[in-house]
Amino acid sequence: MLAFNALTIAAGLHASFAFAGDCPADQVAEDGMKPGAMMPKGVTDSVLKTIDLSSKGDAWKGSMLRMRKLVVEPGGVVPWHSHDMRPANILIASGSITEYRSTCKVPILHKAGEVTAEFGHLSHWWKNNGKVRAVLYSSDILSPEMHDDNAAM
């Protein structure tokens, strides 16, 4: 009976938590979070490498695959931006960072070792609420019209 009770409690706890770095299912919403910080603060954004995808056919003409390293100091901010036209995967390499996502009613904490996908009808901003710098690696696809958009974090 004790084992059954422990299992029941564990199952109930699991249902109330999201997977690491995800919005809890009961907090998903179309306009869950309003626009936040609009200016970068305490963040460095370095392009590590780009690949011109034009050789892959007409659909890719002028598109670039880009890899960046972002270092976000404690209290630092990656400002509000959209991913309607720029899919990205973000790896949190060290530290932690909180995401304020348009599709979630609550902030999402991302910890070292986690990866989050950003694509579609999504806008968000990030803040390092921790005491150590957060290091993120971002891999994204830039359409031709976005090549000079340095503000698109």
Consecutive sets of 10 residues in the chain, 153 residues long: mean pLDDT of each?
A: 43 42 90 91 97 92 95 97 90 97 95 93 94 97 72 48
Q: Has residue 114 been placed in a domain?
A: yes
Q: Has residue 153 been placed in a domain?
A: no
Q: Has residue 7 been placed in a domain?
A: no
pLDDT of residue 89: 95
pLDDT of residue 146: 74
Q: What's at 148, amino acid-wise?
A: D
CATH number of 77's domain: 2.60.120.10
Q: Has residue 1 been placed in a domain?
A: no
Global pTM value: 0.80
Q: Has residue 13 been placed in a domain?
A: no
CA terminus-to-terminus distance, the chain: 53
Domain around 80: 19-146
Q: Kindly tell me the burial class for residue 108, based on how many C-beta atoms sit within 10 Å of its own C-beta (0-12, 13-18, 19 or more).
A: buried
Cβ(88)–Cβ(118) under 8 Å? Answer: yes
Q: Has residue 11 been placed in a domain?
A: no
pLDDT of residue 9: 40
Q: Has residue 4 been placed in a domain?
A: no
Rounded CA-CA distance 1/24 in Å is: 31
pLDDT of residue 33: 87
- Number of structural domains the chain divides into: 1
Q: Has residue 107 been placed in a domain?
A: yes
